[in-house]
Chains A and B, each alone.
Chain A
Amino acid sequence: KNEVEQSPQNLTAQEGEFITINCSYSVGISALHWLQQHPGGGIVSLFMLSSGKKKHGRLIATINIQEKHSSLHITASHPRDSAVYICAVRGYGGSQGNLIFGKGTKLSVKP
């Protein structure tokens, strides 16, 4: 079983729809990252969370430490949001900087 599980793996939405991507993890973490990767491109860090909720523009990220679960929401989705969204968690101790990545959720937003 992967330490970081994302759902769904693939998601197709119509422009304007509200989108939710989920991430569950099984290890103790010091922080959770949501990352965005466009096709053939590098990675952009969207959020780093250790508790609660963060909002940036149309993007909202929440985390529930007790339930070991995080969600990424996109309001009023747009075709330019089409990308792979990756959840990654950071542990404790000697490997504190190392990220454990989920397999990503491929989002396609149709006009």
Chain B
Amino acid sequence: DAMVIQNPRYQVTQFGKPVTLSCSQTLNHNVMYWYQQKSSQAPKLLFHYYDKDFNNEADTPDNFQSRRPNTSFCFLDIRSPGLGDAAMYLCATSRSTPYEQYFGPGTRLTVT
């Protein structure tokens, strides 16, 4: 089945230790999104790729970076995680139109 896969599902990292979260898709969608969702809050868009074009949200901290080496894969790098970065990180994909987004299962990040 075509799907959005996120690895790992659970990640524990230490304060200040760089961490990378992975997303892959078999849908051949050209748009990929990264969201941060903190407890009991709505998801917050961090950035998205439209093909290879990177689009950063204005309020996304510089601590968060992303890479998209090819259509199928997208990575979220947190350079120096703080305690406030503990959250669920959701990857989503869509076609250019009609923009229906398909979400992955998420990676729950714990910062100790």
The number of residues on chain A lying at the interface, defined by a beta carbon within 8 Å of a beta carbon of chain B, is 21
Question: At the interface, is chain B mostly helix, strand, loop or mixed?
Answer: strand
A40: contacting residue among B45, B100, B108, CB under 8 A: B108
Closest Cβ of chain A to B24, distance in Å, is: 14
- Report yes or no: A43 in contact with B33, Cβ–Cβ below 8 A: no
Check A79 for interface membership: any CB of B closer than 8 A: no
Check A31 for interface membership: any CB of B closer than 8 A: yes
Closest Cβ of chain B to A10, distance in Å, is: 11
- Report yes or no: B103 in contact with A43, Cβ–Cβ below 8 A: yes
- Report yes or no: A90 in contact with B42, Cβ–Cβ below 8 A: no
Contact with B along A12-38 (1 / 0, CB 8 A): 000000000000000000110101000
Check A45 for interface membership: any CB of B closer than 8 A: yes
Q: For A41, what are the chain B residues with a Cβ–Cβ distance below 8 Å? A: 105-106
Check B69 for interface membership: any CB of A closer than 8 A: no
State in angstroms the CA–CA spacing of A40 and B101 once bound together.
20
Check B54 for interface membership: any CB of A closer than 8 A: no
Q: For B99, what are the chain A residues with a Cβ–Cβ distance below 8 Å? A: 30-31, 90, 96-97
State in angstroms the CA–CA spacing of A30 and B45 once bound together.
18
- Report yes or no: A102 in contact with B106, Cβ–Cβ below 8 A: no
Interface contacts beyond A96-B99, A98-B48: sample of 16 additional A-B pairs, CB < 8 Å, sorted by A: A30-B99, A31-B100, A40-B108, A42-B6, A42-B105, A43-B90, A43-B92, A43-B103, A43-B106, A45-B101, A48-B100, A97-B50, A97-B101, A101-B42, A101-B43, A103-B42
Give me the interface of B with A, judged by CB distance under 8 Å. Answer: 6, 31, 33, 41-43, 45, 48, 50, 88, 90, 92, 94, 98-106, 108
